[in-house]
């Protein structure tokens, strides 16, 4: 029996629904969190394992280095996304200079991908960037993360020359932010 038929059978028998129908991404709640403690640290660990496997490198997220303090106030932030009680995503911002921030460690748990969670998280990070006084946000990503490149280009980021020495990146981009709403 295929997965689609199995879900139909489960729905008919006991009312079980697929994760897609359980919650809408419209209800994604983004909250500020300390990246060094759960659930944020759990998301960062999952991302590390996934990217190390994807790139076949144990140091994928160590070059360039990122100190978790950079993702904490007053100059940074880490957001955790929840749908109901379930933690589904996270991502952070760090300051590069007084007017420029950088999106770091965006991660959506696999079962929630392809549903708009990443776009909502990115939008929330952009709002936080404006709040922190950034006029521009930058980011980078690697050649095996084509979905991330599509997300960033679709969100208005434009490709720029390399601004860091990340040996795993092949795409660097930035976006001008609107001033914060007061």
The domain that holds 156 is classified in CATH as 3.40.630.30
166, part of any domain: yes
pLDDT in the model for residue 24: 57
102, part of any domain: yes
pLDDT in the model for residue 182: 63
Token look-up 């709040």 returns: 131
The rounded Cα 155 to chain-centroid distance in angstroms is 13
**Structural domain containing residue 137:** 24-176
Distance CA 15, CA 11 (A): 4
Among 10-19, 50-59, 81-90, name the one with the lowest average pLDDT: 10-19
Q: What's the predicted TM-score (pTM) here?
A: 0.84
18, part of any domain: no
Burial label, 108 (beta-carbon count in 10 A; 0-12, 13-18, 19+): buried
155, part of any domain: yes
Q: Which residue has the higher pLDDT, 121 or 25?
A: 121
171, part of any domain: yes
Contacting residues for 27 by C-beta, under 8 A, at least 6 apart = 83, 84
Domain count, the chain: 1
137, part of any domain: yes
pLDDT tens, 60-111? Answer: 767 667 999 999 999 999 999 999 999 999 999 999 999 999 999 999 999 9
Token look-up 């006991």 returns: 14
19, part of any domain: no
144, part of any domain: yes
Distance CA 123, CA 24 (A): 16
Contacting residues for 28 by C-beta, under 8 A, at least 6 apart = 81, 82, 83, 88, 89, 117, 120, 121
Element (H, E) at 32: strand 29-32
């Amino acid at each position: 029996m295929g997965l689609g038929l199995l879900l139909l059978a489960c729905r008919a028998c006991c009312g079980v629904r697929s994760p897609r129908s359980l919650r809408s991404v419209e209800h994604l709640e983004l909250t500020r969190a300390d990246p060094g403690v759960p659930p944020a640290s759990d998301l960062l660990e999952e991302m590390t394992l996934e990217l190390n496997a994807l790139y076949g490198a144990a140091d994928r997220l160590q070059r360039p280095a990122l100190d978790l303090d950079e993702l904490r106030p007053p100059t940074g932030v880490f957001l955790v996304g929840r749908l109901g009680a379930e933690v589904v995503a996270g991502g952070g911002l760090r300051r590069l200079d007084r007017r420029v921030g950088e999106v770091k460690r965006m991660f959506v748990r696999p079962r929630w991908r392809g549903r708009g969670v990443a776009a909502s998280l990115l939008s929330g990070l952009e709002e936080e960037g404006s709040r922190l006084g950034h006029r521009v946000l930058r980011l980078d990503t690697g050649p095996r993360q084509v979905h991330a490149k599509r997300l960033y280009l679709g969100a208005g980021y434009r490709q720029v020359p390399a601004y860091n020495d990340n040996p795993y990146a092949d795409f660097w981009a930035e976006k001008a932010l609107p001033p914060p709403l007061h």
